[in-house]
């Protein structure tokens, strides 16, 4: 079979690498891909942008693609799955309406409240309905969120109610463009975050291995928020009891309610959870796709054939399949470009990729491009070095051995990915 992966990040390189291991698959196309997918055996890049829905459909038809897996949220929110379905093509991902779970925070908060799924208390405002007195009556800190997609940057934690009022006004004034036309203001939650990611077939939930990511730029979870500086799997914060609660309080009710409302969910479903010290949990957000960088360590541990799982989901048979996991832990360390997460410099030549390829573990590409036969930086998050090991500490060591082999001018990365899990191990 021929598989198309939509996207160009580290998640998509990991998806392509994983699918390439399937004996059923003859050819993998990535639209548009990166240098890592260009160099991966049996994988080739095609020059169609991830948000060019018509171009993607045309390519899938012309190349006789049997299965498409969508990586990023952008094309999902644009309705790429609906367009593929209308053309009779098999595409793993949620429909445009189901993808609103990520595309609109106000939609999701109202959905959670309507169905009694635990989440932080909140208010939703437009410029016309904004009520500063309501904000001043709340307990600080408060979290102010732009309603729409803002590349992970539309969330501001405000220490005071005055800061929350000012931040809300800045959003209405266009700080995040159209995404800030509506704003959610919510209660600040204490606890430890976990990523709970599952495959869903409209009716059934197949949970994937647990994971946790590190969103802040600097060691010790300090500094500005990023798209993610590293992730590991499994995440010990998700104990068996937390897992059970996540399935029964969040995943099942969400999938059932979406089906009951006429927007059944098919695809990867990612719940960002805040786990409190007493083991209770609340939904911070939903993503309508696999996480990046969580995908890289999770797929490094997956032994099952991902295309078989996608087929089962597309045929409504997820309840009949299991996923086989490598019992080892996996740690992925993101190597970022000069200037990330602000203005990044592109075009720096990356050294040491051949040496890293001879080491155990796997280096996934994200923001890379081929230029005159050399691999150069072309985005903020450039690579993700994934190590495996009997413990998170051992996996971390393998990931940092890979990292030590690689260099470019301005490369930056965290030295402590997985530290919470390692603290629990010792």
Residue ranges that bind ligand AMP, judged by CB under 6 A = 120, 143, 145, 155, 186, 188-189, 193, 215, 272, 284-285
122-126/182-187 β-pairing = antiparallel
Q: Which is nearer to ligand AMP, 90 or 215 (CB)?
A: 215
Minimum distance from CB of 136 to ligand AMP (Å)?
18
Quote the least distance from Cβ 186 to ligand AMP, whole Å: 5
Closer residue to ligand AMP (CB): 145 or 328: 145
Decide whether 169 or 216 has the Cβ nearer to ligand AMP: 216
Q: Kindly state the smallest distance separating residue 130's Cβ from ligand AMP, in Å.
A: 19
Closer CB to ligand AMP, 181 or 221, in the complex: 221
Q: How many CB atoms lie within 10 A of CB 425?
A: 12
Choice between 30 and 156, CB closer to ligand AMP: 156
Tokens of 169: 């006004």
Residues linked to residue 185 through DSSP beta bridges, in sequence order? 123, 144
Helix locations, 87-172, DSSP H: 100-103, 105-114, 132-136, 161-172
Distance CA 296, CA 213 (A): 11
**29 close to 63: Cβ distance less than 8 angstroms:** yes
Cβ-proximal residue to ligand AMP, closest one:
285
Q: What DSSP assignment string belongs to 296-335?
A: HHHHHHB-S-HHHHHHHHHTT-GGG----B-SSEEEEEEE
Shortest distance (Å) from residue 390 CB to ligand AMP? 29
Rounded to 5 degrees, φ, ψ at 378 are: -145, 20
State how far the Cα of 187 lies from the Cα of 176, in Å rounded to an integer: 21
CB of 284 to ligand AMP, least distance (A): 4
Could you tell me the smallest distance in angstroms from the CB atom of residue 176 to ligand AMP?
12
Q: 165 or 273: whose CB is closer to ligand AMP?
A: 273
């Amino acid at each position: 079979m021929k598989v198309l992966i939509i996207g160009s990040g580290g998640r998509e390189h990991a998806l392509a690498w994983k699918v390439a291991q399937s004996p059923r698959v003859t050819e993998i196309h990535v639209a548009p891909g990166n240098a890592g997918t260009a160099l991966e055996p049996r994988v080739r890049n095609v020059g169609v942008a991830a948000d060019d829905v018509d171009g993607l459909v045309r390519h899938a038809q012309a190349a006789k693609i049997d299965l498409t897996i969508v990586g990023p949220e952008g094309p999902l929110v644009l309705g790429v799955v609906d367009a593929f379905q209308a053309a009779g093509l098999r595409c793993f991902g949620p429909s445009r309406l189901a993808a609103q779970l990520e595309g609109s925070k106000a939609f999701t908060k109202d959905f959670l409240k309507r169905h009694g799924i635990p989440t932080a208390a909140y208010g939703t405002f437009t410029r016309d309905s904004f009520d500063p007195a309501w904000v001043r009556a709340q307990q600080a800190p408060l979290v102010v969120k732009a309603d729409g997609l803002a590349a992970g940057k539309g969330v501001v934690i405000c220490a005071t109610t005055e800061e929350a009022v000012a931040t809300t006004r800045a959003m209405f004034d266009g700080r995040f463009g159209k995404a800030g036309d509506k704003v959610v203001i919510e209660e600040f939650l204490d606890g430890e975050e976990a990523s709970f990611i599952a495959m869903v077939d409209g009716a059934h939930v197949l949970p994937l291995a647990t994971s946790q990511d590190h969103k802040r730029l600097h060691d010790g979870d300090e500094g500005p928020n990023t798209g993610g500086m590293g992730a590991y799997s499994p995440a010990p914060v998700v104990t068996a009891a937390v897992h059970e609660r996540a399935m029964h309080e969040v995943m099942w009710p969400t999938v059932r309610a979406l089906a009951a409302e006429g927007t059944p969910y098919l695809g990867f479903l990612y719940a960002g959870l805040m786990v409190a010290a007493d083991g209770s949990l609340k939904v911070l957000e939903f993503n309508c796709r696999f996480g990046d960088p969580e995908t890289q360590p999770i797929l490094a541990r997956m032994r099952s054939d991902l295309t078989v799982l996608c087929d089962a989901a597309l045929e409504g048979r997820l309840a009949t399949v299991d996923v086989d996991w490598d019992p080892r832990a996996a740690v992925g360390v993101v190597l970022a470009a000069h200037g990330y997460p602000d203005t990044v410099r592109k075009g720096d030549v990356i050294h040491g990729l051949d040496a890293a390829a001879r080491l155990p573990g796997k280096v996934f590409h994200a923001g890379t491009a081929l230029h005159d036969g050399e691999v150069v930086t072309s985005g903020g998050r450039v690579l993700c070095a994934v190590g495996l090991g009997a413990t998170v500490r051992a996996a971390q060591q393998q990931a940092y051995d890979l990292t030590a082999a690689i260099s470019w001018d301005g490369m930056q990365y965290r030295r402590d990915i997985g530290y919470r899990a390692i603290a629990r191990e010792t």
